[in-house]
Structure 1
Amino acid sequence: MSATIDIDANRTLLNRYRFVLHGTMHTLAGWLPQSATFELKCELGRAIWECAQHVNALYLRLREIQSPAFQPPPDEALVHLMAELPHAPDEFGIALAWQDVIVPDLIRALEHHENATFPNSDQPSVYAAHHILLDLRDQQKRLHLVIETARAEGRIKADAETWRDYVQVLLDAAGGVSGNGSRAVTPTSAPACRHAFETPREARRDERFTRPGADEELMPDEADYDRHTVEEFERYSTEMLAAETVAVVMHSFPRMPWGFQFDSARHLYDEVRHCLMGFEWMRQRGFDPFNSPQYLHIFTWRTQFPPVMQYCLLTMGNEVHAFPYRHRRVEEHKKTGDALSEQFVRYDIADETQHVRFGKRWLPEMLKHVGEPKSTDDYVAATISVWENEYKTGKLSLNVE
Structure 2
Amino acid sequence: MTKTYLPGTERGKYMRYDTAVILKRFYLCEKELVVSEAGWIPGIPYFEMKTLLPKILWEDAMTGHALRERVFELRFPSRMLEIGEDQQLIDLIQKARCAPNALAFLSTLAEVFKPALLKAYETYLNLADQIGDGPTYRFMNLAVEEKQRQIREIRELVQKELAVTTQEERERAERWTQEIQESLQKLGGIGLDAPAAAGTANTSEQEHHAGATNELAAGTVFAASAKASAADKYPFTPLETPARDGRFLPVRFYWPDNVDPTFPYGEGFQLQLRSAVSHLNEVWAVENAGYVLYAFAGELGWDFIYDAARWVYDESRHCQMGYRRLKSWGFSEQELPLGTYIYDSCQGQDPIYRLGMLFYFESKNIGKKLDRIKNFASMNDRTSQHDMDFDWADETIHTSYGKTWLSAALKKRGQDPDDYTEIKEVCETIVKRTVETATPAEIEEITAIANRMIEKVKASQ
Matched with 1:20 is: 29
Partner Cα separation in structure 1 for residue 424 and residue 87 of structure 2: 44
Partner Cα separation in structure 2 for residue 5 and residue 290 of structure 1: 56
SS at match of 2:256: coil
SS at match of 1:157: helix
1:200 aligns with 2:239: yes
Partner Cα separation in structure 2 for residue 394 and residue 289 of structure 1: 26
Give the CA deviation at 1:384. Answer: 2.0
Cα pair distance change 1:265/1:215, threshold 3 Å: closer
Matched with 2:329 is: 285
Q: What amino acid sits opposite 1:167 in the alignment? A: I
1:77 to 84, 88, 91: 88
Cα pair distance change 1:22/1:146, threshold 3 Å: same
Cα deviation per residue 1:48-92 (whole Å; 9 max; x = unaligned)? Answer: 111111101101201112332532141343133123111111111
Cα deviation per residue 1:94-132 (whole Å; 9 max; x = unaligned)? Answer: 111111111112111111111211220111122222111
Matched with 2:182 is: 169
Partner Cα separation in structure 1 for residue 334 and residue 292 of structure 2: 26
Q: 1:380-395 residue pairs with structure 2 within 5 A?
A: 380-391=420-431, 395=435
1:152 aligns with 2:163: yes
1:226 aligns with 2:269: yes
Whether contact under 8 Å (2:89, 2:198) holds in the other structure is no
Paired-residue identity, %: 24
Matched with 1:302 is: 346
SS at match of 1:253: helix
Matched with 1:341 is: 384
Matched with 1:2 is: 10
Partner Cα separation in structure 1 for residue 21 and residue 366 of structure 2: 46
Q: 1:48-127 residue pairs with structure 2 within 5 A?
A: 48-66=57-75, 67-127=78-138
Cα pair distance change 1:336/1:185, threshold 3 Å: closer
Cα deviation per residue 1:345-371 (whole Å; 9 max; x = unaligned)? Answer: 0010001110001111222111122x1
Partner Cα separation in structure 2 for residue 182 and residue 327 of structure 1: 53
1:241 aligns with 2:284: yes
Give the CA deviation at 1:258. Answer: 1.8
2:315 to 264, 271, 275: 271
Whether contact under 8 Å (2:266, 2:274) holds in the other structure is no
SS at match of 1:214: coil
Cα pair distance change 1:99/1:324, threshold 3 Å: same
Q: What amino acid sits opposite 1:146 in the alignment? A: L
Partner Cα separation in structure 2 for residue 131 and residue 150 of structure 1: 29
Partner Cα separation in structure 1 for residue 378 and residue 422 of structure 2: 39
Cα pair distance change 1:230/1:237, threshold 3 Å: same
Whether contact under 8 Å (1:113, 1:126) holds in the other structure is no
Whether contact under 8 Å (1:97, 1:167) holds in the other structure is yes
Whether contact under 8 Å (1:15, 1:73) holds in the other structure is no
1:213 to 237, 252, 259: 252
Give the CA deviation at 1:5. Answer: 2.8
Q: What amino acid sits opposite 1:159 in the alignment? A: R
Cα deviation per residue 1:121-178 (whole Å; 9 max; x = unaligned)? Answer: 1111222221111111111121121112112223661111111111111211221111
Q: What amino acid sits opposite 2:417 in the alignment? A: T
Whether contact under 8 Å (2:38, 2:291) holds in the other structure is yes
2:365 to 322, 340, 352: 322
Partner Cα separation in structure 1 for residue 253 and residue 156 of structure 2: 32
Q: What amino acid sits opposite 1:344 in the alignment? A: D
Cα pair distance change 1:92/1:25, threshold 3 Å: same
Task: Give aligned pairs, total.
Answer: 387
Cα pair distance change 1:181/1:309, threshold 3 Å: closer
CA RMSD of aligned residues (A): 2.5
Cα pair distance change 1:289/1:322, threshold 3 Å: farther
Matched with 1:138 is: 149
Partner Cα separation in structure 2 for residue 389 and residue 251 of structure 1: 24
Whether contact under 8 Å (2:286, 2:313) holds in the other structure is yes
Whether contact under 8 Å (1:88, 1:195) holds in the other structure is no
Partner Cα separation in structure 1 for residue 49 and residue 272 of structure 2: 28
Give the CA deviation at 1:388. Answer: 3.6
Cα deviation per residue 1:227-282 (whole Å; 9 max; x = unaligned)? Answer: 12201111111111101111111101123132211110000011111111111000
SS at match of 1:115: helix
Partner Cα separation in structure 2 for residue 330 and residue 393 of structure 1: 32
Worse overlay, 358-367 or 147-156: 147-156
Give the CA deviation at 1:393. Answer: 7.9
Give the CA deviation at 1:390. Answer: 4.6
Partner Cα separation in structure 2 for residue 47 and residue 122 of structure 1: 26
SS at match of 2:43: coil
SS at match of 1:202: coil
Cα pair distance change 1:158/1:272, threshold 3 Å: same
Whether contact under 8 Å (1:88, 1:197) holds in the other structure is no
Whether contact under 8 Å (1:52, 1:265) holds in the other structure is yes
1:40 aligns with 2:49: yes
Partner Cα separation in structure 2 for residue 72 and residue 184 of structure 1: 14
Give the CA deviation at 1:181. Answer: 8.9
Cα pair distance change 1:115/1:310, threshold 3 Å: same
Runs of 4+ in 1 over 6 A off after TM superposition: none
5+ residue gaps, structure 1: 187-193
Cα pair distance change 1:129/1:334, threshold 3 Å: same
